Structure 1
């Protein structure tokens, strides 16, 4: 398989492993008296924020949508669409080193994107898929690194979105589209999990019921198929007595027994007078939806101007963002691939359109889809989270008022690292956060504080103990064992040292793990 090489690649392909794991510090929860929400908005570097999600969400995200910088060189608006952003330049200098100063724009963009997509791939479950908005500047490079990370067989589609309503007079040939690149974790699973799209008002308008069919409104379709199949070449007699055979080089769509059953059930249409060419009825009540294709018009899913008007109406101001995505575009993705109860992650959250779309759809169908947004810029609280608050509560005045969707979210910032640079535990984060981290590394489940000293919990017959004291070293010995109260088939015990002999450990099914050496690093 062809692969893409660029200056700095060898420094970033495994960089996701070196990213420090930081705790998430919850700042507040909006609109939930219980004090916590499964919806999250995280302010911080998206690479570090993605790493912080691994213990709880690795292999659990159904859908990822990202709208990363397009590398256009446009620095004139609130979202700096350029990898010369000071934050990116600083990161490149730290990771790539001195040679980073010689990188081209494309090299810098690839260095920035590769480790982020690597971490995103780890968060997807086996049924998961990633949708990435991009324009012509980097789409070809993007597909090559996605081939490398996800595997070329897991490419799904290159959707073309009609982002404008008219040509751009300033350009020689105005750009009227963007791409949405789709890759799956496993292609077969994607195909099995893909939903059909709901019918639009325009599509349902074509369904009529001129013969008062008890099954309701219907449309008719051609009852012939291309080719010659002897068992599909019979003669059909209409209710008026007129006879029809298939036209040249075509046959009927079904064998005669299937046709006769449809005829008896009133599922065939022969025109108002009963003498027309046979056609088959398709009922609105039986339609599960329509299949998507790779051309998404602005009439169906909105355009950039609609997205701009949408956010400006929420904030009652102009020009917050130049080209925000319309919520209808993200709703299309949700319809296709996110069912009630599943999670969508957006690690380049911008103005918060993804959360807006999730809340809209949940309100429409009563679903409980969940969102996780990550935004590194300073407007994460004042614009991203603020937009979500207004969507939840409602916005606008008088005739332009938009009813709130309801919902809630918790807002986080990135806290300190779990491990210091010398590899030791960072005691500043507190023992509860350390316990939570170790429990996640062992069980991939949520940590619940225990009453028994040093017990992290019990799962599937194994009890986990974290014997740790920040003021002194700890030793796993028989004295500690006598204090263990939880009965289990196996014990995994962390401590600074171990004095138990091998025979005793085998007798009681004890596995010793040394702090901090044997704590898993994400």
Structure 2
């Protein structure tokens, strides 16, 4: 029943004076279907009936799943989506406990994800997801989208189109690094964060920089209060005002920034808040004990002391190699950046959502600030990194519970329509091409390769292929070439097509044939899960786990994919723990959801224990060992 549930979106008609972004193959996104989820793991306990949620899967399908329960209920969305930077992002994988000595058998670089797109494909991808995000936002909710110069101009247009240009609040400029040499152009050291709200009634809490106490260098004799002397003038010619019965004109080109009524009130205070300089110019006292700090706004202003945090954010940089926060995850953002956004646009108990989760910075900061959160990513490495990070933060917060108060530290991990065949979607295309012996084409080609004279298109992995996935293919087919082939011989197919997928809608082939009925096509669907079950896309891990008295002992663990990348034979592994990122144990596994009570996540240069005390009430034991590639082996121990 759930699989057939659909959600329709409000149709946005074209209105004169409201421009829309156009691209080849642009498809209206008017509805989506519900996708089921499967709970895999659970950590911690509910607080006030709430458990945070992490989803592994394509965020389009994750958001389609969330619409059923959370449509109009998300209070803040932050995303750091692909920038189309034309780069591959990698992280270094290193064996633990080998010091600074490096070789092919101790370290290598692992591609986490690629950021290379065709322009039209990128715009459709973002258009559909931004549309879903608007549907999830509450009426007081807002979205912060981070990007850089590659696509900022187009993303701003998409946000205007989906949310309306009147819902644009700010463009925040974040200086992520110090100056550097970019060749024959100005150095690119900033990123943009677009701030849009769903309605005019959005949550906003003004933020302030730390107080610069040195600037409050004057002391009021009568009270001993510290203050700074601030001008009463602002730019723009204005009328004179009375000060203690004397009419004073402001300097040429300026006006008195206070009304006559406010001036009178300030002069009647004891002692007066307005005082006169040695040359008779009125100024006012800004008391240090009345200020929260220097507020965050525009870079061009008359009086910085009067303003909150401006929209040029220069007070924190990107994660450095020495940072305590560093997780060696590509594009990781500093917690201070997310802290400012979350504090600005949400309140405690609000729901914060990030569907390009990466290393889980949004979720980590939301947990610390007492917000509820939902996260999603298609990369399993992201799920494992975030899970490990949140477990550590929850442990620290529990130890300081009196100081922190009760926060939402429990969370669950789900799959949405995922198949645990590929750990990393970036590996999928190459693995499929190798396994099926496809002759590959360049990534700029509409086809992924050729096999026995047939053009091959590989559909998105880790989810079933839908008719919507065919839209990009249909938009970019070589129709002029098809017309020519049709004229030359109408009895022969104009193209022989093989579509490779991991499960698909039952009418996928028929739908494509019907849409392209004016051409004769030979279409073949290859379902890897059904038709190619004998293919091995990854080598399974091996482990020797036994009970010895009241101890659970992991004698050996061999993650075969990791060993292959390190060019290591398992016989030459000195200590299996060097290959392991974490060990988790559920002493009473219920057969469905793993709820670990042992969470062995060592520090960067430490190793897992490998030997664990079995509690007296232990029942069905399940062990999860995650290696340095974020691949996991799950075993039940008799």
Using structure 2 for the length normalisation, give the TM-score.
Answer: 0.52
Give the distance between the partners of 2:311 and 2:406, measured in 1 at CA: 26
| Structure 2 residue corresponding to 1:388, chosen from 384, 387, 390 | 390
Correspondence for 1:279:
283
Report the Cα offset of residue 198 of structure 1. 2.6
Correspondence for 2:344:
336
Report the Cα offset of residue 296 of structure 1. 5.1
| 5+ residue gaps, structure 1 | 85-104, 363-367, 396-402, 424-522
Whether contact under 8 Å (1:31, 1:409) holds in the other structure is yes
In the TM superposition, 1:352-391 aligns within 5 A as 352-360=360-368, 362=369, 368-391=370-393
Whether contact under 8 Å (2:142, 2:195) holds in the other structure is yes
| Structure 1 residue corresponding to 2:267, chosen from 254, 263, 266 | 263
Give the distance between the partners of 1:206 and 1:176, measured in 2 at CA: 30
SS in 1 for 2:329: coil
* CA distance 1:421–1:164, shift in 2 (3 Å): same
Q: Per-residue displacement from partner, 1:245-289 (whole Å, max 9, x unpaired)?
A: 533454544454532321221342436x87752212233444466
Report the Cα offset of residue 116 of structure 1. 0.9
Correspondence for 1:200:
210
In the TM superposition, 1:80-479 aligns within 5 A as 80-83=113-116, 105-168=118-181, 172-186=185-199, 188-190=200-202, 193-202=203-212, 204-208=213-217, 210-211=219-220, 214=223, 216-226=225-235, 230=239, 232-236=240-244, 246-265=250-269, 266-270=271-275, 277-287=281-291, 291-293=295-297, 299-300=314-315, 302-306=316-320, 309-312=323-326, 315=327, 320-360=328-368, 362=369, 368-394=370-396, 407-415=408-416
Whether contact under 8 Å (2:46, 2:410) holds in the other structure is no
Whether contact under 8 Å (1:42, 1:413) holds in the other structure is yes
Give the distance between the partners of 2:235 and 2:115, measured in 1 at CA: 52
Whether contact under 8 Å (2:170, 2:311) holds in the other structure is no
SS in 2 for 1:385: helix
Deviating more after overlay: 378-387 vs 339-348: 378-387
1:7 aligns with 2:24: yes
Give the distance between the partners of 1:32 and 1:216, measured in 2 at CA: 49
SS in 1 for 2:45: coil
Give the distance between the partners of 2:120 and 2:260, measured in 1 at CA: 63
Whether contact under 8 Å (2:367, 2:373) holds in the other structure is no
Supply the RMSD in Å over aligned alpha carbons.
Answer: 3.6
Aligned residue pair count: 368
Give the distance between the partners of 1:5 and 1:257, measured in 2 at CA: 54
Give the distance between the partners of 2:405 and 2:381, measured in 1 at CA: 22
| 5+ residue gaps, structure 2 | 1-17, 91-110, 299-309, 398-403, 419-503, 508-638
Give the distance between the partners of 2:324 and 2:124, measured in 1 at CA: 33
Whether contact under 8 Å (1:64, 1:129) holds in the other structure is yes
In the TM superposition, 1:441-520 aligns within 5 A as none
Give the distance between the partners of 1:308 and 1:133, measured in 2 at CA: 24
Report the Cα offset of residue 215 of structure 1. 9.3
* CA distance 1:359–1:79, shift in 2 (3 Å): same
Give the distance between the partners of 1:337 and 1:215, measured in 2 at CA: 37
Report the Cα offset of residue 47 of structure 1. 0.8
Q: Per-residue displacement from partner, 1:404-451 (whole Å, max 9, x unpaired)?
A: 99641322223569xx9689xxxxxxxxxxxxxxxxxxxxxxxxxxxx
Give the distance between the partners of 2:224 and 2:53, measured in 1 at CA: 45
Give the distance between the partners of 1:175 and 1:228, measured in 2 at CA: 39
Report the Cα offset of residue 292 of structure 1. 3.0
Whether contact under 8 Å (2:44, 2:411) holds in the other structure is no
Correspondence for 1:483:
none
Give the distance between the partners of 2:69 and 2:184, measured in 1 at CA: 47
Give the distance between the partners of 2:116 and 2:222, measured in 1 at CA: 61
Correspondence for 2:477:
none
* CA distance 1:246–1:229, shift in 2 (3 Å): closer
Correspondence for 1:433:
none
Whether contact under 8 Å (2:81, 2:356) holds in the other structure is yes
Whether contact under 8 Å (1:164, 1:305) holds in the other structure is no
Report the Cα offset of residue 333 of structure 1. 0.9
Correspondence for 2:36:
23
Whether contact under 8 Å (1:37, 1:408) holds in the other structure is no
Q: Per-residue displacement from partner, 1:43-79 (whole Å, max 9, x unpaired)?
A: 1111111111112211111211100011112114154
Give the distance between the partners of 2:179 and 2:406, measured in 1 at CA: 32
Give the distance between the partners of 2:349 and 2:407, measured in 1 at CA: 16
- The structure whose residues are more often helix, as a share, is 1
